[in-house]
Structure 1
Amino acid sequence: MSKRSYSELDYDETDSVSLLLYHAEGLLKAAKALKEEIKASHKSARPHDQIASVLEHSKKIASAAQLLTQDETNVTDQHESGPYKILKLTGTKSSENASTASMIPSPVSLTRWTPQDIPVSGLPPLPRILDPELEQAALTHSGMVTSPTDMNYERLEWLGDAYLELLATCFIYQTFPNLGTGRCSQLRERLIKNETLSNFTVQYGINKRTRFPAEFDLQGRIGGSRATQNARVKVQGDVFEAYVAAIILGDPEGLSRASPWLKSLWSTTLAQEIRNEFNSRARLLPKPPSRGEGGEDAQSAAKQDLNPKVVLSQLVGTKGVKITYSDIGAPKKDKHSGKLPWYTVGVFFEGLGEKNLQMGVGSALSKKEAGAIAARHAMDNKRLMSYLQKKKEEAVQLAESIKPEYDSWDKWS
C-alpha cells in the first residue's frame, strides 16, 4: 500500500477518528512551521521579531496537542466499553447501536433471611424487564438467530449466572453465620443449580415466552431430533439466568427490584433451613431466670447452648447406661444435589433393663449432623424421655439406698 499524506484523506468532522487524524495533521504542520522559524531566527538581523513568531507557533502547537488529546479520549469512550458497562445486544450493525451500553447497577444492601420472607403460598410476583431489547434478547435461544450479532440470551445468561451466585452467597452468609463453608456451598448449589432455575422458568411460564429451536419442544423436531430432558433443563435454567440479568440491566433500579424478589423466591427452597436457624437463634436469646440465679430455668437455658448429644446424655444417662449412635442402612444420595451422600443415624439406649432401644433418628449430609438431629428427635419424644428419666431416678435411688450398707460393712470388716 502506497503512503499518502493526511491532506489526501477525506474527513468527516462528525466522526471521532477523522477528527483525530485532522488535528494530528494540524499538530505536525505547526511543529514544522516552528522548526522553520527557529532556523530563520539564527540568520535574522532582527531576532526579537523572530522570537515573537516562534512563540506564536508554540501556542499553535499547544492548541493542536490539546485538541488531539480530546479526540483520543472521545475515540476511547466510543469504541471501548468502560469498566462498569456491558454492550447491549441490539441485533443491528449500525455504529450508533453497536456502542450502546447498559450501566451495571450499584450494589444494594442485602439482609439475612427470616421466616417472614417465606411466601405464605405460591411464588412472589415476577418482575418485568423494562428494556424491550433486553427482554427480546433474554427470551431468544442462540439457535434461533442466523448471525452472531443477532440478539440471543448467551451474554445475558453469562452475566445472570454471576449475579445469582453472588446474591445467593450473600444471603447464605448473612443468614447462617455458624455454618462451615462446605455446608454453605451445598446450600448455594441448591439455589443456583439447573434443576432449581429450570423449575422457576416453568412455574413462571417464562419458557412459553422464549423462542427455542424445535427440538426443545415436547414433541421434538418434526422428522428430526428431540432434545434430552437434561438438555431441556439446562436451557431453561439458562433462560432464567438471562431473565435475571435483563431485569438488572433494564433500568437503574434493576438490582434493587431483583434482589428482594430473589430473596423471597429462594426462601421457598430453603424454607426449613431458614426456620431452623431462626428457632435456634431464638433459643439462644438470654432469658432472666424466674427462680433465682441458680433456678431450674437458668439451668434449662444453659443446657440449650450445649451439643444435643451432651444434653441427651445428661437427661437419661447414668451408671450402667450406654448411649450409642449408629448408621441405619447404607448412605443414600442427597435429593437436592443428587451427588452428595445422605447419612441416616440412629441413637440407641442400652441399660436399666433396656437393650438396643432406639430413641431417635436423624438424616443429614454428615454423620455428625445426623447424630445431633437424632438426639434432638429423641428429646422431643416427651413420653420416652419421661419413661427413661423415671428408670434413671429409680436406679439412682436404689444405689443410694444400698450405699449405707456397704459403708457399714467396710467399717466393721
Structure 2
Amino acid sequence: MAGSILLALKLRWSRDREYYKIVKHLFGFLPNNIELYKLALIHRSASLFLEDGTPINNERLEFLGDAVIEAIVSDCLFIEFPERDEGFLTQLRSKIVSRSTLNALGLRLGLDRHIIVQGGGNFAQKHLYGDALEAMVGAMYLDKGYEFVNRLFINEILRRYINLSSMTRTETDFKSRLIEWGQKNKRRITFSTVNGEAFTSQHPTFRSAVLLDGAEIGTGEGGSKKEAEQRAAMHAAERLRETAPEGAFGHIEIDIETI
C-alpha cells in the first residue's frame, strides 16, 4: 500500500516525474536513485560540463553496464545449455552482447525516444541505442544491485526479445561467409594461424588473425586451428558490421524476435 502511494506521488508530483515514467514504462519498476537513469540517457554529444571541465554523460555507466550484461548473459547461457562446451557458449554470448544486437534491443525497447543527443542524433554513431541500453543497465546495477538487474535482464529482455534456440541454429561458419564476402566485394581475406602462447603437445592452443587486404581486423584463439579461425572470423565479421555501410555485411543475421 505504502509503495503504491509512493509511486503515485513520484509519478505525479516529483520534478523528475517524466524520468520516473520513462523507467517505469521501459523496464517496469520504480528507481531509487533517479539521477543515475537521467545520466544514462545523456549521450556524450550532449555532455554537460562541470566548472573544472569534467564532462557529464553516460559513458562511465555504459562501461559498467557492458560488463554487467556480459556477466548476466554468461550466467544465463551456463544454465540454459548445461551440456555445451566453452567454445559454443563463448560464440553464442558474443552474438548476444555484440554491438549490433544490443543496438537492436535498445531500439526495440524504445530508448531512441528518450536518449538526449545533440543535433537530434544526426551523426555517425551507429550503436547509440545499444550504448544507452548498457548505460541503463549500469544505472540499474548501481541502484538495485546485481540480482535485481540479472532477473530483469533475463526475464524482461533476453526471454522477450532473443530467440536462443533460433540463434543457435544460425550460421556459424563465419570463415566461409567472410571469404565469400571478400570474393564478392573484391577484397582479399587471409588467415594467419600460429601456435598459442600456452601451446603444449598435451594441451594445444592456437591463435588466428584475419587480414583484410593485409590489415588485421579480427583475432581468435581455440584448441584447434579450425576453432581459432572461426572465432577470428566471427570477430572480424562483427567489426565489419560495425564499420561497413548499412547492409554491406548483413548476411550474418541476428535473430531478435518480434513481440
With CA pairs under 8 Å and 6+ residues apart, which has the higher RCO, 1 or 2?
2
Normalised by the length of structure 2, the TM-score is 0.50
Normalised by the length of structure 1, the TM-score is 0.32
Which structure has the bigger radius of gyration?
1
